[in-house]
Amino acid sequence: MFGKISVGTASWSDIGFIGGWYPKGLPAGQRLSWYATHFNLVEVNSTFYQVPTRRFVQRWCEQTPDDFTFDVKLHRLLSRHSTKAQFLPPDLRPMNLSKNDKVTLTPELETEVAARFRESLEPFAHSGKLGALLLQLSPSFSPQANKLGELDHLLELFEGERMAIELRNRRWLDPKQRRETENWFRQNHVSFVMVDAPDDPHFMVMPGVDLVTNHRLAYIRAHGRNARGFVRGRTVAERFDYDYPKEEIEELAQRAAEVAQEAEETHFIFNNNHADYAPKAAGQLLETLAGEYPQAVEEEAALLKESVHA
């Protein structure tokens, strides 16, 4: 038995998409609607940099079909990334702090930012389009300096929502640490974000393990396999500059199908956002899955046929 597999990309408005994937001259306000004729899932990336407004979220809902799903990346401050004051709503910026100064995360500030997020995402919830909330942790969040229990307060603030957490420090899966890591994810019903990434021992590169910790939702993010770019790249285009060849797409399809046997839903997101690589890979993965595992992508396969004949 297969659970449902949905495929999409991290963002729908990357510069590479605009230059190489969307039809030339397509107005910015029509890109999401056009994207939704090809995929039923997208990961919202802009929310990592600023708390969205309800107005924008409502507009996104109106531009997409009823069966469309948005996974939403949580704000960088909640993800334990270094955050300048300018990335917070003006009224939450500490007094006497310039926009270039770093903000200190406190329980009170975490509570307020989370509350703003929940309020802004209500249109997603009301329309049934909210998938998972993605917490992409900083590589500096490590078992040497931190405990996963430090995230318990954040989980409480988003109680009732589906949470997916991507660790960015491979030491969380070291032999002596892995059982504790797995237990925390399972006990808290959090989806462990699996990755496809370069085969590299650098501490920022997570190994490609399959680990389904919440049987309601499995989550996979494909970053590409460009080791040099992933570790040393300074821009998104440099870090995720990788064009998946056909044989690797077939590997990913098999992996997704195996994971889908353990979860009711599997979200597969391509984050190789250089040029048009991500939407191209997502389309190829859908096509491969439709041919080999049609029961897992029935709705997505129908959408694929419609986009091909449009």
- Residue 98 predicted with pLDDT over 80: no
Kindly state the DSSP code that residue 249 receives in the 8-state scheme.
Answer: H
Cβ 135 vs Cβ 115: under 8 Å? no
Bridge partners, 194 (sequence order): 220
Q: What is the pLDDT of residue 301?
A: 61
Q: What is the pLDDT of residue 96?
A: 59
pLDDT tens for residues 207-254?
A: 999 999 999 999 999 999 998 888 887 777 788 889 999 999 999 999
pTM of the entire structure? 0.93
Place of tokens 């309020």: 119
Of 214, 100, 116, the C-alpha closest to 165 is 214
- Residue 305 predicted with pLDDT over 80: no
Query: What domain count does the chain have?
Result: 1
Q: Domain residues for 186?
A: 4-309
pLDDT tens for residues 129-166?
A: 999 999 999 999 999 999 999 999 999 999 999 999 99
CATH of the domain at 184: 3.20.20.410
Mean pLDDT of the chain: 92
Q: What is the pLDDT of residue 85?
A: 83
Higher pLDDT, 199 or 268: 268
Mean pLDDT of 59-75: 97
Cβ 296 vs Cβ 268: under 8 Å? no
pLDDT tens for residues 257-298?
A: 999 999 999 999 999 988 899 999 999 999 999 988 887 787
Tokens of 256: 């997704």
How many other CB atoms are found less than 10 A from the CB of residue 179?
9
CA torsion angle for 109, 186, 47, 33 (degrees, to 10)? -150
